[in-house]
Amino acid sequence: MKLLGNEILATDLDNTLVGHPGKLEHLWSYFEVKNIDISLVYITGRHFDSAMELIEEHHLPKPNILICDVGATIYLGPDFLPDEQWQIMTSADWKPDIVLDIMERFKEVKRQPLPNDYRLSYIVKDKPDYVREIEEALREYHLAFHLIYSSNKDMDILPSHTNKGTALQYVLENYAPKDPKILVAGDSGNDLDMMRLGLPSVMVGNSQQELKQHSHLPNVYVANGSYALGIQEGWHYFY
């Protein structure tokens, strides 16, 4: 089942695609003028309901595929039904109840309310050493998990081998044609995993330093333009 066409934009939402309405309109006009029939994959740390609210608030085109929860969940358009195969794959060794028990020791974190436990999310502001301590504690229990700390405040604990990169790779293998024109776009540390796939990628001009420090990756272009203008710049650079 091919849900994606030959030209694909796989982009983070907050502070990448979304952040400046004028630049966003310019991006859609660019694709229209260039006669680019763009397929859209939105890849976000938001949960499904929050992502859909953002899409409606900013009048974004509905994506062909929506990846939420930093890669832990995938929803297939046009009806946005969950990809059950991905859910089975990622939950096989995921033990959120044990993780939650361990996290009870760490009083300097604030758990973020989520509608499910496909991932666990916490606010830990300006405490990278504390986050490393948490990660070491989880490893002592030989748990299968993947921890991402981004924006110097957002800590996500996910099923093992689950992140934006593995989710995007799964989507491309299952729903995209062979060798499409694709651009990956992001602005923060949790976007790094998808830029490590080796696909043409752009770090928008307003990207955080935690991401820009990896600008040496050979497939990555660092845009001067911020937000959606950086995406447009990246597409022009590669294609």
Residue 212: pLDDT above 90? yes
Q: Which of 124, 158, 192 is the last residue of a domain?
A: 158
- Note whether residue 72 is domain-resident: yes
Burial group, residue 173, by CB count within 10 angstroms (0-12, 13-18, 19+): exposed
- Note whether residue 2 is domain-resident: no
Q: Is the peptide bond before 78 cis (omega within 30 degrees of 0)?
A: yes
Q: Rounded to two decimals, what is the model's pTM?
A: 0.94
- Note whether residue 110 is domain-resident: yes
Q: In which band, very low, low, confident or very high, does the pLDDT at 1 lie, cut at 50, 70 and 90?
A: confident
Residue 112: pLDDT above 90? yes
Single out the residue of 9, 8, 112, 19 nearest to residue 70, CA to CA: 112
Residues 81 and 167 in one domain: yes
What's the domain range around 154?
A: 90-158
Residues 6+ apart with CB under 8 A from 212: 203, 222
* CATH for 67: 3.40.50.1000
* CATH for 152: 3.90.1070.10
Residues 82 and 180 in one domain: yes
Q: How many distinct structural domains can be found in the chain?
A: 2
Do residues 12 and 187 make contact, with C-beta atoms less than 8 angstroms apart? yes
pLDDT at 169: 98
42-53: per-residue pLDDT in tens? 999 999 999 999
CB atoms within 10 A of CB 238: 15
Q: Which of 133, 158, 183 is the last residue of a domain?
A: 158
